[in-house]
Amino acid sequence: MTKSYVIKRDVPRRFLVNYKEDLNEEQYRIVTAGAGPILVVAGAGSGKTRTVTYRVARLIEYGIAPARILLVTFTNKAAREMLHRVEGLVQSDVRRVWGGTFHSIANRILRRHAQSIDYEPNFTILDTEDTKDMIESSIQEAGIDHKARRFPKAEVVSGIVSFANNRDMPIRDCLVRNYPHFEPLATQIERVDRIYQARKLERNAMDYDDLLLNWKRLLVEKPEILEHWAEQFEHILVDEYQDTNKVQAEIVDLLASRHRNIMVVGDDAQAIFGWRGAHFENIYTFKERYPDAQEYHLETNYRSRPEIVMLANASISNNRRQFPKNLRAVRQASSNSPALIPLRDTDQQAAFVAGRILELREEGVDLSDIAVMYRSHWHAMELQLELVRRDIPYVVRSGVRFFEQAHIKDVVSYLRLIVNPHDELAWKRVLKLIPKVGNATANRIWERIAFASEPLALIRRADFDARPRGAHEWQEFIRLIEQLISPAHVDRPAAQIALILSSGYEEHLENTYENSDLRAEDLRQLSNYAARFDSTEEFLSELALINTERFGAPQGTTGEDVVMGGDEDEKLVLSSIHQGKGLEWRVVFLIWAADGKIPSGRSLRDPEGEEEERRLFYVAITRAKDELYLCYPLVVTDWSRQTVIQKPSRFITEVPRELVEEWSVEEESLEAGPDDKPKLIN
């Protein structure tokens, strides 16, 4: 007969932390809540991180061993910072807490049990480049005939496989949903995936997604291992739960099956990553999976002025599916309502934003406390050029600078060699875009034309002796060059860009990049921008500005160079809304706040697209602490020089009119004196 003994924890305790004093009432209720499942709906700027940190501290002070706590965050840095703060609160070593991202924790657990799923403990984790190389080898082994039909490149196949894994769906279904142009190749792509999966196992390697898939597999297929870890993790806390994918939520549910002490924290109003596999259903269905869950809300906003919070509340209230919440600002009201600023065109939009930033700088706001946010990367195109002209240093948080992206440089290289047929770099870049042409062939062609008086004429000759083997592909290239220099296109950069896109480059994007639709949209907008120039040479000269930036020491004190007098590390932030999530700035400019731009036209094809786009708008405006500017151009011109009238975003027009203050912007006349400034009429 076995005698059972229970360790009692319900004894008087002396806590080092004064939770009642350090936390507001909402936070205190969550931190001191009892056992069982807990759902925390945390509004923007409501002290979510503080609440999670204090909850971990409370558990430790209550007697839960650190090693029995699992804290899952979306960056390892966030976990380290939280646990460092916990250590300061409880004044003891908390390194045994299992803190980190899903992938980092998966790695630790899989190292211990690798042999249970036919791996060795010293398995290799493939990075992005390794994954691409192995998929390329798998395509070759599958015997794919590229000549019969162009097959997606390894990067695209990797994206297809990854999305299918994260959404736990068959590859064929993924193609129908996200890659319909590759649906006829479904059988071949599935074969490549089977070979790729077998190769990884043979080589004792896992890719990034395998860490999650194999962790779940371990828990599902090995009951004794699930029992061990479900017993180990007495308390589980998951941050940013609205951004978890289906596999991650299933892993957490498995681990919580023993004790059911699971606390998930998130904001359904900030669920904006559905396009990359996040499954926002996880947070909505949490109480269906845990009917006894306690639900708490954090609604006290410490970040933003009341005027900004009221706008955010009014906007997100238009979403039909959400947890009802009403953020309350604790900061004092200001005299500045969020500003709605219609501008004449994209040039005036860029000029206004740059000019207002300089004024804010003079008023004592550091450049690093200001962000310009946008829905799509191309929205910052004109602004980047304007910032260069005015010597305003900036950093791009949404990837590389617009004009440094590979697809932009590809297309611009065509224009460069048309304007200057002796441009070696442009020639070599363009030649390597021709199927089956690599470095050696490109170098051979260049050596043949480098000293020719008319390279464009030479390559078009029937007896050109350096042509590559693929006659069909070469003839298509020659035909494109002839069209670019024809009377219908010469010195019309907008039409030239549109021609390049429609003459095979868009297909190249589809086969080369996972985000081909976004890159094609970049190029269409570049074409629209180019429509304002009278010649291709003038357009290229304008773009060259981006390569002559001087963000170092000021060159004298004339004009607006005085802005450079501060810390050289002080830079304005340009960021897509997606990249800005979780960050905050004193001043935020949201540019291109026009319907069709936010929400994007493409997103509206999805039945749930408008609501996700409204959440994106909500994320953008709740990044602002003190001032918010919503800007949009009234008129844009496309590549065919057609004028398109713009309206403000539906997310602005659907809120009460009194929540925004419309500004009328006038430009100073040429006759104005040096001390006169542009007039802003409220």
Catalytic residues: 48-49, 239-240, 270, 623
Burial track 585-596 (b if 16+ CB lie within 10 A, e otherwise) = bebbbbbbbbbb
36: left (phi over 0), alpha (psi -120 to 50) or beta: left
**Cβ atoms of 436 and 473 closer than 8 Å:** yes
Separation CA 473–CA 310 (nearest Å): 58
Place of tokens 């896109």: 501
Cα 444–chain centre separation: 40
Separation CA 132–CA 155 (nearest Å): 6
3-class DSSP assignment, residue 541: helix
Token pair for 108: 């630790």
Separation CA 402–CA 522 (nearest Å): 9
**Cβ atoms of 339 and 629 closer than 8 Å:** yes
Separation CA 229–CA 241 (nearest Å): 21
How many alpha carbons lie under 13 Å from residue 248 in its C-beta half-sphere? 27
Separation CA 522–CA 500 (nearest Å): 13
3-class DSSP assignment, residue 112: helix
Separation CA 214–CA 125 (nearest Å): 12
Start-to-end CA span in the chain (Å): 84
- CA distances (Å), 563 to each of 380, 384, 554, 566, in order? 21, 16, 8, 7
The DSSP element (H or E) to which 431 belongs, if any, is: helix 424-431
Separation CA 625–CA 52 (nearest Å): 22
Token pair for 67: 């090693």
Separation CA 512–CA 516 (nearest Å): 8
- CA distances (Å), 368 to each of 343, 372, 376, 379, 554, in order? 25, 11, 21, 20, 18
Strands 624-633 and 328-329: unpaired
Separation CA 286–CA 283 (nearest Å): 5
